[in-house]
Structure 1
């Protein structure tokens, strides 16, 4: 005959289970598993501009319950690099600066895109010979000096283009983060690019026939420049009308917002902090989702014969 445990033992087990369940509910609430994210409580408007680029929502601590998970993808003709995949390493010859290389020629690109995380009392190193540089400030402030000892203070949303072999230094007394693009300049006749310094809000909105997004170009469009950097803004629900396929390469960093990016035959959810490399002729398309605007910074090679 089967014997059942005494009733007192069953009551004791149930009592322990109830206490454990109550404790688990408290822990869950305290750890935020069932609570609203901090941004929903404090409001994203209280954050610094582009704060998600340097403080991504999906920080490493949030990945402890998702071992092995990443949205990052590397394909023959595109790559999506998301914040949980970032690897920090010292930037050669830079002082007190760590770098996150997002796009390099190892992928197939002809340019480099990286984030430079400058610490206290930091300074840049010059790029290689004949290499041009573009910097865009996403956090903090830096001072740009050139060979003539003139200096410029660059804050968030400011940028600078440094022509090839242009003597300069970027200094920061406190932590700051830059998006940096570099490529070997493609010289064209007597066309000579010049030092360019500005800020996003000072750049005019340009017409975009057939499209509804807002477009700003940060560099002059003259033949002296072999690439440009665009700032593109989408309101929620807006999308690209043209399903682009072209010979130009792109390097993109989402500064704000979230949405869906089509790359080749795949569709990827993306958000602020994500970086994308697009090779020539990869099909590409974007739609903005969520409740706030999307803004992204995008590199595009221009003004040169593809031969």
Structure 2
């Protein structure tokens, strides 16, 4: 049986998440839930809502279970980003049991990554707010809210926020497992 973990992030509207034990949580804009592999749950929406639902096969480790997490972006601490100006929040614990992480990155207009990054792990992002320009390899892509980018391992990348308002993106990244 394939073990699948699920991450739910509310972009617009609200939903109610209920687990198999009958415990419910109301998820509103910028709130989220991480559901461990194969945890039964339901989502209910009384109106309209826009969700990011990310599901993946979980690379579990023996005696290292993950736990359900329900939170809100604004409840997460801003993390140090030495040499950078953007604001970073991690939504899933960075501990070994978790095989991926979700970050929220905020850039004010004109802010940019100070270095061209290269990562050994695949990752992707969804631009939630604003607009900017994204460099992948030697190509440049204008992006705006609603655009998604998937980055293969070892592809050089860079981002700058453009426009008159903050840009925010949700970033997925493989972590804590050997990519080979």
Q: C-alpha deviations, 1:238-260, integer Å up to 9, x for none?
A: 11112111111112110111111
Answering whether residue 45 of structure 2 is matched by residue 172 of structure 1, we say yes
Distance 1:166 1:252 in 2: 25
Matched with 1:289 is 162
Q: Could you tell me how far 1:173 is from its partner in structure 2?
A: 2.0
Answering whether residue 115 of structure 2 is matched by residue 242 of structure 1, we say yes
Q: Could you tell me how far 1:129 is from its partner in structure 2?
A: 4.0
Distance 1:233 1:176 in 2: 22
Query: Which aligned pairs between 1:118-137 and structure 2 lie closer than 5 A?
Result: 129-137=2-10
Unaligned runs of 5+ in 1: 1-127
Partner of 1:299, secondary structure, is strand
Distance 1:129 1:198 in 2: 26
Partner of 1:166, secondary structure, is coil
Matched with 2:149 is 276
Distance 2:144 2:153 in 1: 23
More helix per residue: 1
Query: Which aligned pairs between 1:1-307 and structure 2 lie closer than 5 A?
Result: 129-307=2-180
Unaligned runs of 5+ in 2: none
Q: C-alpha deviations, 1:225-279, integer Å up to 9, x for none?
A: 0000000001111111121111111121101111110011100111111111111
Please give the root-mean-square deviation of Cα atoms over the aligned residues, in Å: 1.1
Q: Could you tell me how far 1:282 is from its partner in structure 2?
A: 1.0
More strand per residue: 2
Q: C-alpha deviations, 1:29-78, integer Å up to 9, x for none?
A: xxxxxxxxxxxxxxxxxxxxxxxxxxxxxxxxxxxxxxxxxxxxxxxxxx
Partner of 1:201, secondary structure, is helix
Q: Which has the higher contact order (CA 8 A, sep 6+)?
A: 2
Give the length in aligned residue pairs.
180
Distance 2:65 2:112 in 1: 36
TM-score w.r.t. length of structure 2? 0.97
Structure 1 or 2, whichever has the larger Rg, is 1
Partner of 1:233, secondary structure, is strand
Find runs of 4+ consecutive structure 1 residues off by over 3 angstroms: none
